[in-house]
């Protein structure tokens, strides 16, 4: 005889046998229920039931005998093996789709572009891609895990569920985790084909969820920000103004913690634009319009009637510094985002192609007054194809770019002698200071290529708040935790040169100069005119005075030469321009990135 005992404290909900009934090994004899879960008791042998001690509805204790059977086979079937056997029998075809799975799959299908051909066709007719097409291009193949795909707009009080499922998939926010260049990231895209990419209450909830994950796990974030801002039609939520949502504070909290990339095309207004403005870098297409208020808000404020294309067009926003990288289309925008993120997530040391070092010897003209392009030096010291310039339309007196040297990411600052002779104005100083903050926050060393006569001066310049703007460079440099390396290409004059060298020539990890470099507390021509005014005025105007001026200037040039500066230890070395890249590589190897001490990256 075999006694079958209860595996747990429970009560009997089904009794499937009675005395005298023949049973087969693995057959269900009774069903117990505990904690809202049903547990089957299976026959361990084939045989005959001899006696049952309980009825349906009665309770049994753990290990209490519930029935006795006489076995007719000698091979037992362990309870666990029997359960597995039954589960296999109940789903003989593992590829079969049960009704519950079929329902889920059908619902998910409505989130895909293929189910919305009209919306996709309208998008393509504008020469634009869908949110999911952009996501597919941005993320490494097969790496995207979508969060909140089954959400719909909170409008069930005014629209049917079928309507919402078909026309508001994912509530207009496609988001999840993925890898980009092999590194884990959070990716989010407002879907302009769903209620004009507006910010609904559920897509705010989805956004907040993703931003929390990004902060907790220190994941870079990419946001496709196209859309019209807040959505007033979400009537399911018991709210008045909706100004309590956490999205904007949560997004801003990522500043300085992880790289945050914003991409937009088409119309990006109000709340969408506010998030875009919080990003480290803004990548926009020429077809974009970016503004804190769209036409409706402008008209509602009594400020006039405008078309969307008249508000924040890309040429305006690129020139004023809102757009960091201006591209032709979304294909280029995604490529730029990948390029940008790669500086913070991907080591490319194995892919290095060094430029011809000797080309650097010809960058600076022998004529010390001749204008030239310092970007030739920028490209000459960095890995080929690695340079990504930022804010090219704004603050043109200083070039700022991310690049690589020997595969290592660096930020490069370079004065632009083609604008104001390289003098630093308010816009250039703002651009440089923010760039320092950006590189500092994400642990990227800085390289400065110096050719400046100093800060821009004059009544018109001071009217731009020059004093405050240019001083930002000193403050930003004083809080750097990353190595800073300076190379003086030609002019290293005054406070401007000090600002370009992290506050002073001995502040960087190294300050070196090319033989073409010249130094002074101010421009050498001005120093001669002011310092030798009496001597010059004592000589008659004309050739004689010009000759004296040239002689005095030559003396100043010699006294302020790179060789003289190195001899007095005011700079660390004078180098062959062809050795610049090697010098920087050795300096980068010697430098260390300190611990992040907090602080934000200015949005400006």
Could you give phi then psi for residue 40, rounded to 5 degrees? Answer: -90, 140
For residue 178, what are the contacts with CB-CB under 8 A and spacing of at least 6? 135, 138, 139, 140, 143, 144, 145, 184, 185, 187
Q: Which of 57-66, 78-87, 341-350, 489-498 has the lowest mean pLDDT?
A: 78-87
Q: Is there a contact between 483 and 588 (Cβ–Cβ < 8 Å)?
A: yes
Strand (E) or helix (H) holding 537: helix 533-537
What is the pTM for the complete model shown? 0.87
Q: Does domain 103-342 sit in CATH 3.40.50.300?
A: no
Task: Tell me the pLDDT tens digit for each residue of 270-285.
Answer: 999 999 999 999 999 9
Pairwise CA distance, residues 266 & 280, whole Å:
20
Residue indicated by tokens 């032709």: 328
Average pLDDT over residues 191-215: 93
Q: Which of 14-28, 172-186, 452-466, 547-561 has the lowest mean pLDDT?
A: 547-561
The answer to whether domain 2-92 and domain 348-517+562-590 are alike in fold is: no
Percentage with pLDDT > 70 across the chain:
96
Cα distances from 121 to residues 127, 130, 288, 301, in angstroms, run: 10, 10, 20, 35
What's the mean per-residue pLDDT of the chain?
A: 91
Task: Give the domain ranges of the chain.
Answer: 2-92, 103-342, 348-517+562-590, 523-560
Output the pLDDT for position 86. Answer: 54
Out of 3.90.226.10, 3.20.20.140, 3.40.50.300, 2.40.30.110, which CATH number does the structure's domain 348-517+562-590 have?
3.90.226.10
Average pLDDT over residues 401-410: 96
Identify which of 222, 165, 237 has the alpha carbon closest to the alpha carbon of residue 194.
165
* Top CATH class, 2-92: mainly beta
Output the pLDDT for position 83. Answer: 53
């Amino acid at each position: 005889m075999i006694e079958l005992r209860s595996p747990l404290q429970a009560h009997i909900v089904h009794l499937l046998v009675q005395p005298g009934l023949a049973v087969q090994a693995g057959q269900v004899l009774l069903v117990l229920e505990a904690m809202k879960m049903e547990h089957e008791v299976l026959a361990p042998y084939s045989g005959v039931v001899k006696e049952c001690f309980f009825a349906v509805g009665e309770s049994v204790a753990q290990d209490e005998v519930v029935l006795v059977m006489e076995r007719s086979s000698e091979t037992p079937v362990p309870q666990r093996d029997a359960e597995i056997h039954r589960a296999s029998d109940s789903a003989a075809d593992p590829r079969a789709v049960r009704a519950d799975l079929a329902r889920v799959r059908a619902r998910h299908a409505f989130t895909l572009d293929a189910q919305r051909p009209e919306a996709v066709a309208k998008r393509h007719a504008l020469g634009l891609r869908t949110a999911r097409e952009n996501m597919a291009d941005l993320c490494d193949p097969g790496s995207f895990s979508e969060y909140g795909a089954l959400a719909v707009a909170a409008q069930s009080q005014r629209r049917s569920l079928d309507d919402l499922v078909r026309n508001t998939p994912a509530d207009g926010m496609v988001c999840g985790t993925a890898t980009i260049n092999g590194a884990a990231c959070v990716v989010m895209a407002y879907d302009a084909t769903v209620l004009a990419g507006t910010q609904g209450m559920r897509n705010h909830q989805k956004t907040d969820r993703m931003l929390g994950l990004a902060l907790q796990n220190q994941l870079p974030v990419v946001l496709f920000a196209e859309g019209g801002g807040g959505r007033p039609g979400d009537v399911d939520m018991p709210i008045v103004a909706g100004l309590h949502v956490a999205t904007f504070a949560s997004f801003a909290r990522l500043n300085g913690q992880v790289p945050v990339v914003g991409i937009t095309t088409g119309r990006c207004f109000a709340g969408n634009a506010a998030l875009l403005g919080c990003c480290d870098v803004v990548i926009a297409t020429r077809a974009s319009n970016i503004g804190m208020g769209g036409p409706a808000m402008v008209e509602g404020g009594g400020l006039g009637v405008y078309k969307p294309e008249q508000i924040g067009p890309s040429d305006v926003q690129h020139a004023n510094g809102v757009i960091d990288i201006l591209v032709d289309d979304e294909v280029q925008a995604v490529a730029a985002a990948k390029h940008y993120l790669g500086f913070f997530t991907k080591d490319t040391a194995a892919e290095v192609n060094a430029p011809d070092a000797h080309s650097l010897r010809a960058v600076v003209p022998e004529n010390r007054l001749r204008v030239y392009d310092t970007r030739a030096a920028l490209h000459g010291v960095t890995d080929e194809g690695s340079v990504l310039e930022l804010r090219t339309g704004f603050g043109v007196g200083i070039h700022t770019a991310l690049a690589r040297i020997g595969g290592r990411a660096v930020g490069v600052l370079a004065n632009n002698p083609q604008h104001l002779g390289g003098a630093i104005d308010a816009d250039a100083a703002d651009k440089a200071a923010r760039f320092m903050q950006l590189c500092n926050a994400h642990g990227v060393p800085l390289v400065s290529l110096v050719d400046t006569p100093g800060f821009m001066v004059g009544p018109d310049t001071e009217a731009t708040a020059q004093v405050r703007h240019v001083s930002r460079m000193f403050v930003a440099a004083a809080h750097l935790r990353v190595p800073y390396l300076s190379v003086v290409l030609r002019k290293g004059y005054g406070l401007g040169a000090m600002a370009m060298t992290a506050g002073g020539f001995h502040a960087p990890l190294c300050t070196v100069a090319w033989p073409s470099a010249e130094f002074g507390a101010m421009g050498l021509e001005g120093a001669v005119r002011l310092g030798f005014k009496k001597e010059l005025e004592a000589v008659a105007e004309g050739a004689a005075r010009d000759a004296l001026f040239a002689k005095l200037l030559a003396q100043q040039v010699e006294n302020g030469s790179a060789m003289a500066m190195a001899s007095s230890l005011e700079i660390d070395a004078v180098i062959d321009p062809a050795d610049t890249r090697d010098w920087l590589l050795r300096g980068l190897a010697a430098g260390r990135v300190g611990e992040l001490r907090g602080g934000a990256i200015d949005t400006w």
